[in-house]
Structure 1
């Protein structure tokens, strides 16, 4: 049962926790693998079933529902005065393998709850309201991310996916066409979005640690990712004296220690991660002659991110040269920070204040579809807490009462923008 009440002129949603839990259980049930978790990869059988089930659910609200060329799903209520001005909300329908029950799909179902309440309480909007279930964001099946949102704006290059395959050797193009979709041709069909809102779990523990229930996101961090290869000399672990070694793991250890120390000294919101390590020959009695490792560095300020990563690049080269180690540094991701729209941030914050919601303005340390939208249309994000900061995991959880506050913030913001 879902109730509406008025409070200081604001729309207040009181969704019974069971309603939210039932919706999330329902959408999570579309999975290509037995539990734990949900596995719903781009163009898979469960992905197709989920998108068509969502289509039916949106149509039950009286919305006009269509797919675009690549499989993004759009459900729209036409505005009574400015139908070409579209206020949209939503997120991505794909999951990681054995993912949780909230990431991505919560944004779709929150949009459903918010629009349902607005239609029942306020009637039709002046501007068009739209829920988007985006085809893909995670890059879990194929080595390509943001396929859904990039196609909404016509910025996805077909050449980038024509020759890629999944782990089973199925080509991207074959999977797409088998699901009934194909490449976008010409101008995107849905190009009238005037504003976009995305509700998402935080995927971290900041809100939980601060006791806040709603995050008003002001920016998505920029990211730089590297693959670094150190080349020294493999040799016998027993007979090669320490002073004669060209040990690439030792070199990596010095790089990691110095870089992490610098990151801690720099302070938040900068984060630095060494997440992948592959020493060769990776055996107990051989000095490793080659080591590959990854670096992930993020910050909300582009200049700080550029300065810091340039410093650690120079440090790595200096350490390697001192130890007689060859070094190759491949910076394969260089994404700038993406600010959210100032007016929408202000609107969400005003909604939270007027509705008495427990909120905090914050940045996002993870990437989201909103980073594709934000440079092109006014965009805002709303976070709800992640219990224990856990995400991309079957243990992913947010209390229904916290989701309720997030949906309330979303619904009232949509009301102010569309009504």
Structure 2
């Protein structure tokens, strides 16, 4: 197999499904293009001789039984849904890499001792409906039916109706959690610029950062910009500026791996000649250490309340996401490091600042990830790009890691 050529062909073919006239790709959960994409992957799996099936919600599996330990499964995969106007690598590169790595192993070494299974998860991005990790959360049986029964997309299409339209349904809650999975490995583009800047070929992920996300509303008093003296104002935007400046300075002071982002700011009335009487803003903060993340978040909440008191504002703080950091399994991390060394490629052990299906799976099964570089760190964009040579190296390292896990007794 000419791995580089076959990899390029598969990326191009799958990227044509959901190709967006506005640029990039749009392939959203339970859309027609999503189902077409899953069927494309299913055909590739079946062409390699893997037995395929879907679970109730639309996760796709392709499996080859182990010759000696069929009851022990080594799993690999990712997701094929995208963001709106996304790139051609996020998610689907992990799925394509997984089945090509398995294909290479079967052609080179024959049947594995342990079963090999590829998963193409139904959804990870949360781009169509206000839910995320629907595929992996159902796989590990933590998805809640009540979270999606009433939700709809931006067009008014209901989640449940669209799921049923494509032939899927809620999972059977009486089914036991699978006990055969010994390891899960996910490959992904980095979505950052660390590997590129350090001129490295592979990132071996040993943890996924935890996240806290807030929406905060400060309420002051809207008033005339020309007739209201500065010392009489209750300027909500001024309050925001003090909070954001202080907390960004603190994040820089604390340093990596903490990151803090004030990504959305909406002043009211948002006009040139009125003192803003209200502002709503968001904070996204992330860290690989639970206590450090909690400490920064607590400091942020205290700063909001202190500034509100100082300026005579009302503050409403909504913590709407609180995801703990997720460590990867040390043994699986070690296997990926060994694979990188065996393939004689440069690598570093690093954390992931972005969320991935692996963080949902890791509490249940031994899990680890590997990254390939992203040019300029761009992702979730039509400009998302990784050199084909780097993508190919990633598949080779993935195959080598799977060999260690599935073929060695």
Specify the TM-score bucket, using the shorter chain as the normaliser: over 0.9
Indicate whether 1:258 and 2:246 are aligned.
yes
1:247 maps to 235
Q: Is 1:115–2:115 an aligned residue pair?
A: no
TM-score, normalisation: structure 1: 0.95
Which piece of structure 1 moves more, 268-277 or 305-314? 305-314
Q: Secondary structure at the match of 1:187?
A: coil
The residue number in structure 2 matching 1:42 is 29
Partner of 2:113: 126
* 2:218 and 2:313 in contact (8 A); partners too: yes
* Aligned ranges 1:319-358 → 2 under 5 Å: 319-358=307-346
Check whether the contact 2:141–2:177 (CA below 8 A) recurs between aligned residues: no
Task: State the alpha-carbon separation in 2 of the partners of residues 180 and 70 from structure 1.
Answer: 9
- The correspondence for 2:360, drawn from 372, 389, 392, is 372
Q: Distance in 1 between matches of 2:228 and 2:61?
A: 65
Q: Which runs of 4+ in 1 moved over 4 A?
A: 188-191
- 1:78 counterpart residue number: 65
Q: Tell me if the contact between 1:152 and 1:191 (Cα under 8 Å) persists in the aligned partners.
A: no
CA contact (8 A) 1:68 1:189 kept: no
Aligned equivalent of 2:370? 382
For structure 1, which runs of at least 5 residues remain unmatched after alignment?
3-14
Does 1:187 find its partner at 2:175? Answer: yes
Counterparts of 2:33 and 2:386 in 1: how far apart (Å)? 24
- SS where residue 7 of structure 2 aligns? helix
**Worse-superposed segment, 109-118 or 26-35:** 26-35
Deviation, 1:190, is 5.5
Deviation at 1:388, TM superposition (A): 0.4
Counterpart Cα distance in 2 of 1:49 and 1:190: 27
Measured at CA, do residues 377 and 404 of structure 1 come closer, stay the same or move farther in structure 2, by a change above 3 Å? same
8 Å CA contact 1:70, 1:135 repeated in 2: yes
Instruction: State the TM-score, normalized to the length of structure 2.
Output: 0.98
**Cα root mean square deviation, aligned:** 1.1
| Aligned-partner Cα distance in 1 for 2:176–2:396 | 31
Shift of 1:34: 2.3
| Distance across 2 between alignment mates of 1:330 and 1:62 | 50
Partners of 1:239 and 1:32 lie apart in 2 by 54
Contact 1:69 1:183 in 2 (8 A): yes
Measured in 2, the distance between the counterparts of 1:257 and 1:337 equals 26
**Between Structure 1 and Structure 2, how many residues are aligned?**
406
2:276 corresponds to: 288
Report if aligned partners of 1:231, 1:291 keep a CA contact under 8 Å in 2: yes
The verdict on how the C-alpha distance between 1:133 and 1:190 changes in structure 2, with shifts beyond 3 A counting, is farther
Map 1:133-282 → 2, pairs under 5 A: 133-185=120-172, 186-187=174-175, 192-282=180-270
CA displacement at 1:54 relative to structure 2:
1.1
Q: CA deviation at 1:405?
A: 1.3
| C-alpha contact (below 8 Å) 1:251/1:323 kept by paired residues | yes
2:304 to 293, 313, 316: 316
Q: Deviation of residue 191 (structure 1)?
A: 5.3
In the TM superposition, residue 391 of structure 1 has moved relative to its aligned partner by 0.1
